[in-house]
A and B are shown apart, each in its own frame.
Chain A
Amino acid sequence: PSSSCVKELADSQVQSSKTAALKPSMLVGFWRQQMLDWSYLVMDSFGIDREVVAVSFNLLDRYVAEEMKSPIKITREDFQLFSMTSLFIGVKLLESFPRKLTANALVDMSRGFYASEDIVHTEKEILKTLGFYLNPTTTIGFCRLYWDMFPASSSSSSPFPSFG
């Protein structure tokens, strides 16, 4: 399923040459949008819940915010590695069968640009930087909580049928 994801990732790399004139903060925003689109594509083709993307990008944003405090500039390649690794962590946190998206699958999608050791190393860096705080609120999570506050008049009206 990953062939289209590989192509998409390569295309976004080509496009990035047009953005050379952007300011660093805008650049990160541009990369973020590209990786977000790509992440949804990956989740859909691997049959993984899209909520994983919401969680992963929360981790990514917090990590990148910390990284941007350092004088060393984040490159496009760094950003791509950070976002792929965040996705890797998000899948482990939420997916019932985390082996659906392995480090090796991510390596394949980068056409071998990164090694699985890069992902495993970055995972540890992200976890450490975030102090192992891994519970972001997501939009859908908020909606579920909010929904629960409605009086349960009839179970058939619930968008989440219960199976007892």
Chain B
Amino acid sequence: MENYRIMKQLGQGVWSRTYMGQQKDTDQLVAMKKFKANSCDEGVDFKALREIKLLSYLQHEHIIRLVDSFATPDMAVVLVYEYAHTSLDQILRNRDIPLSSPDIKQHIRMLLLAMDACHEKQILHRELNPENMFYLEDGTMKLRGFDLARMHDGKPNTLLSPQAFALWYKPPEVLMRSQHYSFSADMWSVGCIFAELMLRRPFLMGQFTELSQLDKIFKVFGTPNESNWPDYAILPLAWHSTVPVPPVAAVSLDGIFTAAPNDAISLLKSILVLDPSNRLTASQALRHPYFSNEPPPTPKGNLILSSPPPEAN
């Protein structure tokens, strides 16, 4: 702790507080996450240990860099990250920031590169949303929020918690309480973020409950059946009345994303698929013609990340 100067508190979670700080020797800005010391006798918070383990394993241009980690005398663990200036959430909400098609292409490209790096190393992120996409000053996107991430090695008896994922980005199989979901679950969230970039508002906004979220999904993609999702019937919640009767047909995404180019819609349609086994993987998505077609993605240094300062008159 003595190597850092704490400047201000940035946020507070259930298990941790985040601060903006400065490394005393180098004046480098950092974000510091302090996991609350456990009141019980269980020592260091296991979520902190896992995040440290995953981040040091996952060193990549588009994944937040862990600068340092240490334990304070009172048993709290502090994770020190490189400092990011803004998040995609802040960019989307700031109406003074224009988002052109080439900009969108760059944002989603950087997310897919990060996702590909995670999945290649068998890591499920499980909490993708615009609030976890951070940006350095030079426009580089850095994925963060690895609190819920875990190694997924495909062992048959590994159960995964359906509690992960933020509601609007939660894939249908997880909403239906599957405990055997996989990397395709993260891809659903990627699809939701891609849609959100084009619409400039969250795409599937369920109201507080998972049932309402499922309902939103089915209204767009149709109710699951033997042809669009052959395995859905074995999911735990398929037996309850989660699937609306009578069945609803899928709506065409072209009608929703009227301003988007065809190749973008084609990519979106291949990612947002009810049946997890039919979703593109991150590396397949990166090879989609959308990324080689004109216009090329905006160079990341040219992305606008904050509103221009008011003109001095």
A residues with CB within 8 A of B: 88-89, 92-93, 96, 98-99, 102-104, 116-117, 119-120, 123-124, 127-128, 132-135, 141, 144, 160-164
**Chain A residue contacts of B53, Cβ below 8 A:** 93, 134-135
Assess whether B52 is interfacial by the CB under 8 Å rule: yes
**Chain A residue contacts of B155, Cβ below 8 A:** 160
**Chain A residue contacts of B156, Cβ below 8 A:** 160-161, 163
A103 touches B41 (CB 8 A): yes
In the assembled complex, the Cα of A45 lies from the Cα of B233 at a distance in Å of 36
A162 touches B154 (CB 8 A): yes
Shortest CB-to-CB span from B11 to chain A, Å, is: 23
B180 touches A164 (CB 8 A): yes
Tell which of B68-76, B136-144, B284-292 binds the partner.
Answer: B68-76
Partner of A93, one of B41, B49, B70, B161: B49
In the assembled complex, the Cα of A160 lies from the Cα of B156 at a distance in Å of 6
Assess whether B220 is interfacial by the CB under 8 Å rule: no
A128 touches B70 (CB 8 A): yes
**Chain B residue contacts of A127, Cβ below 8 A:** 44, 49, 71
Residue in A closest to B38 when the chains form the complex, CB atoms: A120
A123 touches B50 (CB 8 A): no
Shortest CB-to-CB span from B179 to chain A, Å, is: 9
Residue in A closest to B235 when the chains form the complex, CB atoms: A164
In the A-B complex, the 6 residue pairs with the closest CB atoms: A163-B180, A92-B46, A120-B43, A116-B41, A134-B53, A123-B43
A120 touches B75 (CB 8 A): yes
